[in-house]
Amino acid sequence: MKRPPMVMRVQIHGKEGKFPLWLPLFLLLPLALLLLIILSPLILIAITILRLRGRGNELSPVVRASLGMLCSVRGIRAAFDVLCSMPGLRVDVRNRNERVYVSII
């Protein structure tokens, strides 16, 4: 079963020192859900406007793409899928003095 990421681990080592950070993403998810509920009337208005104006033909493709993805259930689902696929992502870049490490668990 797919699950959203729980923790994001960020480590930045520089000349000035170390900066380790554990971001509890599971605490941010209820906030994101709350934000989605608050924004849902605006999303609904945007969907209605887009439909009435022929899906915003006069808008630039980039704006249309962004609005289209935001204002569709498929878009929200696809974005959630991307979020749920993130656990396991790891980026580690380092040289003599610096290191950037990002891991999503």
Partner 1 sequence: MSENQKKILEMLANKKISIDEAYRLLNALKTEAGAPESSTEAGTTGKPKPKYLRVSVQPGSGHEHDDDVERVNVRVPVSLIRSGMKLSSLLPPEAKDKVTGALHEKGIDLDMRNLKPDDLETIIEALNDLEVDVVSRKEVVKVFVEQ
Kindly list the residues in this chain that would bind partner 1 in the complex (CB under 8 A): 61-62, 64-65, 68-69, 72, 74-75, 78-79, 81-82, 84-96
Instruction: Say how far apart CA 93 and CA 86 lie, in whole Å.
Output: 18
34 vs 85, beta carbon nearer partner 1: 85
> Are 25 and 5 within 8 A, CB to CB?
yes
Q: For residues 23 and 103, which CB has a smaller minimum distance to partner 1 in the complex?
A: 103
**C-beta of 34 vs 65, nearer to partner 1:** 65
Nearer to partner 1, 44 or 78 (CB): 78
Q: Closest separation between CB of residue 19 and partner 1, Å? A: 19
